[in-house]
Structure 1
Amino acid sequence: MLNYNLHFSALSKNIRLQLPEKFLKRLDEQFRNQSSELKESFSLPPATSIRIHPNKLKSYSAEKIPWSEFGFYLKERPLFTIDPLLHAGCYYVQEASSMFMEQVFTQLFSENEKIIVLDLCAAPGGKSTHIASLLNSKSVLVSNEIIQSRIPVLKENIIKQGTGNIMITNSDAKNFGALNEVFDCIVLDAPCSGEGLFRKDKRAISEWSEENAHHCSIRQKRILDDVLPCLRQNGLLIYSTCTFNPEENEMQLKWLKESFGFTGVRLKIDRDWNIDEWNEDDLYAYRFLPNKLKGEGFFLSVMRKTESNNFSETVYDSKTDYANLPKKYSQAFFQNAVLINENENIYEWKKKIFLLNTAQIELLKIIGSDIKIIYAGIELGEIKQNQEIPSEALALFDRVNISNFNTVSLTTEQALSFLRKDAFNISRIEKGWLLAQYENHPLGWLKSLGNRMNNYFPTEWRIRNY
């Protein structure tokens, strides 16, 4: 469990923010009777919340987030960086309102349904790791980030969560739009003016203006126009923002209906959740207001695509490099390293060994060369000089076959030393790979050479400032 004896941030005191006058005036016009309470909520400290990994932490004792089965509020904010369980992927620090995404998947898709999902603007990975945890092993989530500099943190967070039904890509929306009706669901957590995060992000306040908010709405339309062709007929679009601005929210839904024939999809919500439901012209949206619930400002709507694209085949088929598609791999070390489901196989791909499911293989055949694939499935390791080298992703995979490896249990100080990638010494007679664990949760690999230990924790992930 989280070690609350570490250190806490001083977030318990009220905060006073200098908010733009034009923003405050619009809140008065938009929310009328509750605008005073909403404005006052900006002076309250934001809630701290986490979502636990149900395959890694079986239980947790804290106040539940009502719309998320595995979401919890914390009383105070610890220094997460020095909790080894964070690095083991046992939980993810995620804003509570955004966990409402869970309701879309639990209400609108069946548990055993194979679905192909695109999360278009995925970094840093909170929604992607959440969605992946809700999908079965037959499904696949394409977790895309348009901005290349944000890819490393997205990849790190996805690997730490250890769910194998993901692909990570780095591509513009228009490249996905050239795929003809491939996805059952598109998630667009759209770039926005960030009004809902003002009390957590002062930079969003300094960058806010009516002009910038308008530019955000134009950019959102461009992204939607580019990407929607890859959503199949009757597929679902989940559109969300972290702003209150109607031009970026409700008006976009009306534009989608008028321009593309999308229809609204209503979700069931409990009255006690205190979520504002907006309904107009058979369109539905869910607004999270920090004066009414424990969470930041958030907006979400689900819409269904009713019309077909009226153009033929995926344009990428001719560009697929079939010679470099994954090839099945059968050597015992990696075959025995994981618990493999019926629809999965182990493959050699890009000179490394991966666990991939059938849906991922099918997507790799379709996508071709214009969408940059960063990662897929679970990277199990590689072969160097006829020696198997297990990967960090294998250690953190939620179906790693722990019984197949020698393990070593670390104390808190040893775990932090491991995570700093310090030189490591543990008395060990036998040589070979050791799965380093903290409270029975894998952290990564050590290799015993008899007289010393090599620490294989990824250098780019190491704790630097503690």
Structure 2
Amino acid sequence: MQTPVPSDLIVQLAQAFPEHATRIVEALETPPSVSLRLNPARPLLSPPHVELQDGTIPWLPTGIEGYWLRERPTFALDPLWHAGAYYVQDSSAMILSTIWDELDWQEPPALALDLCAAPGGKSTLLRDLLPDETLLVSNEILPKRCKILVENLVKWCGADHTIITQEDPQQLTPLLRGACNLVLVDAPCSGEGLMRRDEEARRMWSPQLISDCVSRQRAILREAIRMLMPEGVLLYATCTLNQEENDQMVQWLLDHYPCQLIDLSHTAERIPGAYATAYGLHLWPGIVRGEGQYLAALRLTDILERPSEVRRTKGLTRSSRQELASLSWLSEVPSADCYTIGEQIYQLTPAAAQLLAEASRQRLAVATPGFAVATMRHQAKGYEPSFALLHHPLCRTAELPALELPLQEALRYLRGEALTTSSPSARGITAITYRGIPLGLAHSTGSRLNNLYPKPYRLRI
């Protein structure tokens, strides 16, 4: 790092946390930690980058597996990363899974919202933690970041039971007011906890930036809490270190809204070095193996907003389940209804279909309506498997011709290049795999395979 840790920040840390400040500042001058989380739906014979593995993350619950690496490899040159077999995520950010049992769900959440979701680390983790029947709305207002969010969720789970929106939180409130069992706000912040991996966080930091972030966070939280139903849970997270954006922000919520804190102190006992305050959990670089993270949980105790009345909205166009049932590469007839949206066929639950119809009526920007099971890209030729389907258990890859590629050929495919094969393959759609994991599709003409890997996702190195 060329930019030193800001002196004003050092003073603030010394005043707020005198017993820890020196270690935190010293850690900010060391290399960042590197960790990844495995996709439970992508079983592998051997873990990715096992030669660099440097300890498993001990605070993850059963069913969630992650570990640290000794150094950071070039993940972009690993086809398994492109296939969604794992997600590169800071171990501190994974504490969302550690506190899950502390939320004491009386019944499974029906509707969850990740309000500031890009690039998708916490949304992919939420999708693994939430029951399959829970509808997750992942939102990101910035277009470029929203595209990354879509890619990560599609590759992680096909974006199943997930609607991805690209809206200002204020615009989402009329759609979701008083309706969510869970709202996660991973708030835009001053980024102090990321300063050892982000040079820009050092250059941009100032006391004024903190003040600006506090104003933005309050504006987002005003909308977030309006979208909660009574007894709904608000999770508030940042990757910064100061009190104004962390504990004091939670106190502001308690002062202005009918909610109570959920005690997370027991979670701190399971995370070596975690620091619990009366409000939430602090994870600091140099104290915990990971970057900076703050997390607090609150429960709404009274009615703040009543849900909007369900309007009779124009329904989406249903697809023929009979036609889909005849497709050999679908493992079963989807239990939910299927709808035609553009060139794609989406599997949607009734709740998702109603929410999408209302979102359309309100002219909200929907980046992805959910799980696309098929495409009608060449309508005259009938249905083809979608890219998302390859990343979902519904896909019967054994029913598709497949071509397993070695590393260099897989990278060529990910770059969008056409492939050739010495042994003629069956004409038509072919699944391209690496280490048995589907990467995408190609169209075989016999000895040549035309690349169907989505252009926005293609490797550029």
TM-score of the two chains, using structure 1 as the length reference: 0.89
2:19 to 9, 13, 33: 33
Q: Following the alignment from structure 1 to structure 2, what is the Cα–Cα distance between the partners of residues 462 and 428?
A: 26
Does residue 342 of structure 2 align to residue 350 of structure 1?
Answer: yes
Question: How far apart are residue 393 of structure 1 and its match?
Answer: 1.2
8 Å Cα contact 2:161-2:370 kept in structure 1: yes
Partner of 1:6: none
Aligned-residue RMSD, C-alpha: 2.3
1:175 and 1:370 in contact (8 A); partners too: no
Cα gap change, 1:334 to 1:364, in 2 (>3 Å): farther
SS of alignment partner, residue 129 of structure 1: helix
Match for residue 372 of structure 2? 379
Does 2:256 match 1:259?
yes
Checking the alignment, whether the CA contact within 8 Å between 2:238 and 2:246 is kept in structure 1 is yes
| Equivalent position of 1:9 in the other structure | none
- What residue number does 2:225 align with? 228
Preserved contact between residue 275 and residue 287 of structure 1 (Cα < 8 Å): no
1:448 maps to 2:441? no
Indicate the SS of the match to 1:413: helix
Tell me, in whole angstroms, the C-alpha distance in 1 between the residues paired with 2:71 and 2:333: 39
Q: d(CA) in 1 for partners of 2:332 and 2:227?
A: 30
**Does 1:463 find its partner at 2:459?**
yes
Q: Secondary structure at the match of 1:57?
A: coil
The whole-number CA distance in structure 1 between the counterparts of 2:32 and 2:260 is 34
Asked whether the equivalents of residues 111 and 136 of structure 1 are also in contact (C-alpha less than 8 Å), the reply is no
The one of 162, 167, 185 equivalent to 1:166 is 162
Q: Secondary structure at the match of 1:392?
A: coil
Which whole-Å deviations, capped at 9, do the CAs of 1:214-260 have from their partners, x for residues lacking one? 11001111111123211111100000001011111111111111100
Q: Give how far 1:103 is off.
A: 2.1
SS across alignment from 1:200: coil
Q: In the TM superposition, what whole-angstrom CA distance separates every residue of 1:90-124 from its partner, at most 9, and x where no partner exists?
A: 00111110011112334436698243110001111
Q: Is the 8 A contact 2:316 2:340 kept in 1?
A: no
What is the CA-CA distance between 1:328 and the residue it aligns to? 5.3
Partner of 1:435: 431
Matched residue type, 1:65? I
CA distance in 2, matches of 1:20, 1:326: 57
SS in 2 for 1:32: coil
Q: What is the CA distance between 1:454 and its match in structure 2?
A: 1.1
- 2:120/2:152 contact within 8 Å kept: yes
Alpha-carbon distance change, 265 to 328 in structure 1, aligned in 2, over 3 angstroms: farther
Consecutive unaligned residues of structure 2, counting only runs of 5 or more, are none
Aligned mate of 2:197, from 186, 192, 200: 200
**Is the deviation greater in 242-251 or in 65-74?**
65-74
The residue correspondences of 1:91-240 to structure 2 (distance < 5 A) are 91-108=86-103, 113-163=108-158, 164-178=160-174, 179-240=176-237
SS in 2 for 1:337: coil
Using a 3 Å threshold, how does the CA distance of structure 1 residues 295 and 177 change in structure 2: closer, same or farther? same
Pairwise CA distance, 1:148: 2.0
1:71 to partner: Cα distance? 1.5
Letter of the structure 2 residue corresponding to residue 222 of structure 1: A
Q: 1:429 to 1:279 in 2, by over 3 A?
A: closer
In structure 2, the residue matched to 1:397 is: 392
**Helix, strand or coil: the match of 2:294?**
strand
Distance in 2, matches of 1:72 and 1:223, equals: 33
2:345–2:373 CA contact under 8 A, matched in 1: yes
Displacement, 1:392? 1.4
Structure-2 separation of matches of 1:411 and 1:176: 45
Secondary structure at the residue paired with 1:385? helix
- Is the partner of 2:439 in helix, strand or coil? strand
* Distance change in 2, residues 1:207/1:328 (3 Å): farther
**Alpha-carbon separation, structure 2, partners of 1:111 and 1:399:** 30
Q: What is the CA–CA distance in structure 1 between the aligned matches of 2:113 and 2:13, rounded to whole Å?
A: 33
Aligned 8 A contact 1:275 1:286 in 2? no
Unmatched 5+ residue regions in structure 1?
1-14
The alpha carbon displacement at 1:272 in A equals: 5.3
**Cα distance in 1 between the residues matched to 2:319 and 2:115:** 28
Equivalent of 1:271 in 269, 272, 275: 269
- Which segment drifts farther, 71-80 or 370-379? 370-379
Out of 89-98 and 389-398, give the one that drifted further.
389-398
Evaluate the alpha carbon distance shift between residue 188 and residue 429 of structure 1 in structure 2; reply closer, same or farther with a 3 A threshold: closer
1:67 aligns to what? 59
Q: Which moved more, 1:50-59 or 1:89-98?
A: 50-59
CA distance in 1 between partners of 2:325 and 2:335 (Å) = 20
- Quick one: distance in 1 between partners of 2:107 and 2:232? 17
Question: Structure 1: how far apart are the matches of 2:256 and 2:152?
Answer: 36
Structure 2 distance, partners of 1:236, 1:326, is 34
Amino acid at match of 1:215: D
Contact 2:441 2:451 in 1 (8 A): yes
Q: Which amino acid aligns with 2:368?
A: Y
What is the rounded CA distance, in whole Å, between the counterparts of 2:389 and 2:247 in structure 1?
Answer: 43
Which whole-Å CA distance do the structure 2 matches of 1:92 and 1:453 have between them? 29
Residue in structure 2 matched with residue 10 of structure 1 by the alignment = none
Q: Deviations over 1:48-74 (max 9, x none)?
A: 100100110356464211222311111
- SS of residue paired to 2:99: helix
Cα deviation for residue 365 of structure 1 reads 4.1
Q: 1:340 to 1:259 in 2, by over 3 A?
A: farther
1:314 to 300, 308, 321: 308
Bigger drift between 236-245 and 31-40 goes to 31-40
Q: 244, 249, 256: which one pairs with 2:246?
A: 249
CA distance in 2, matches of 1:152, 1:27: 36
Report deviation, 1:182: 1.1
Asked whether the 8 Å contact 2:102–2:263 carries over to 1, the reply is no
Q: Secondary structure at the match of 2:388?
A: helix
TM score, norm. by length of structure 2? 0.90
Q: Which moved more, 1:223-232 or 1:250-259?
A: 223-232
- What's the offset of the Cα at 1:349? 2.6
Partner SS state of residue 199, structure 1: coil
Letter aligned with residue 323 of structure 2: Q
Q: For 1:234-290, what per-residue CA distance to the aligned partner results, in whole angstroms no more than 9, with x for missing partners?
A: 10000000101111111111111110021100133253522434343xxx3000011
CA distance in 1, matches of 2:83, 2:286: 34
